[in-house]
Amino acid sequence: MKHAVVGFGRLARALVPALQAAGEDVGVARRSDGEAAVAATVRAADWVWLTVPDDHIAATAAALPWRSGQLALHCSGATPLAALAPAPAAAGFHPLKLLAGDAVLAGAYVGIETDDAHRRALLALVRRLGLVPLALPSPMSAPARAAYHAAANLAASGLLAVLAEAGALWSAAGLAPDDALAALLPLSRGALDTAQARGLAGAVSGPVARGDAGVLARHLDALAGAGLADDLLRAVALRQLALAQAAGRLDVAQVTALQALLAPR
């Protein structure tokens, strides 16, 4: 099997060595190589990987010199396979992995969308790469793709927004801003480790899980005193409340009191 990887951003810099380590024959097609070189690399390949930004996938697919029997793969979580319509066949390969620095793919889940003709070979490659295949609906609608990608983004960068808010409150308490991330990240890691062991409902803790409306009221007052909006805290706490209810941690009176306190203003 010969592979061509079109584009050489963060994902390609993790994908290419992973493919090579699995014994695959890989050629890289960079725009800087010139159109003729890119076309030659693509024509020689059985599978063509488009690792370009989402907004460029459709235009790139339309510009490549496809031949019969080739499979085009993109690595986007948000873009439907329809963007690869000019290719003879299309598949999606979306690693659920934050790729920064020298990140490697091994061990990550990877969302797979493919037709029956290529499923077996693609799943075999996924396992040789040391990845965990996650079957996506095929075909996957654009709304479903958007929901799936939003879930992944919320679980990744969404956490950073919560930590940024926590850091702002840390500073408002008169603590050194430079200490915030180092001090707070172990709490985040502990919550994630507990969730992995016990599930989300089993891991929820703090004043919401205890039904402590007085502490939460003081949290809201602290935000107001710091001149910060309280919409994020209210939204997060209401979702924590749903988890605490699912875990059977609270009685009806506690739930009612917390709902009244946390209702958007």
The residue ranges of every structural domain in the chain are 2-141, 158-262
Residue-level pLDDT at 101: 66
Q: Is the peptide bond before 139 cis (omega within 30 degrees of 0)?
A: yes
204-240 as b/e, with b when 16 or more CB fall inside 10 Å? beebbbebbbeebeebbeebeeeeeebeebbeebbeb
Instruction: Indicate yes or no: pTM above 0.85.
Output: yes
pLDDT recorded at residue 248: 96
* Cα distances (Å, whole numbers) of residue 2 to 105, 152, 192, 237: 20, 30, 40, 51
> The domain 2-141 is classified under which CATH number: 3.40.50.720, 3.20.20.20, 3.40.50.10330, 2.60.40.10?
3.40.50.720
| Chain centroid offset of residue 187 CA | 21
The pLDDT, as a whole number, for residue 138 is 87
- Token pair, residue 212, equals 């402590």
The confidence score (pLDDT) of residue 100 equals 75
Contact 213, 251 (CB under 8 A): no
Residues 6+ apart with CB under 8 A from 145: 77, 78, 79, 80
pLDDT tens for the chain, 265 residues: list them.
899 999 999 999 999 999 999 999 999 999 888 999 999 999 999 999 999 999 999 999 999 999 999 999 999 999 999 999 999 999 999 999 988 766 789 999 999 999 999 999 999 999 999 999 999 998 899 999 999 999 999 999 999 999 999 999 999 999 999 999 999 999 999 999 999 999 999 999 999 999 999 999 999 999 999 999 999 999 999 999 999 999 999 999 999 999 999 998 8
What per-residue confidence (pLDDT) applies to 102?
Answer: 66
Taking the C-alpha atoms of residue 212 and residue 207, their distance in angstroms, rounded to an integer, is 5
Contact at 8 Å (CB) between 93 and 75?
A: yes
Stretch (H or E) spanning 50 = strand 47-50
Please name the helix (run of DSSP H) or strand (run of DSSP E) that holds residue 54, with its range, or none. Answer: helix 54-63
Q: Count the Cβ atoms, other than its own, within 10 Å of residue 192.
A: 13
Residue type, 82: A
Largest CA distance in the chain: 71
Q: List 91's β-bridge partners, or say none.
A: 73
What pLDDT is stored for residue 104 in this prediction?
A: 87
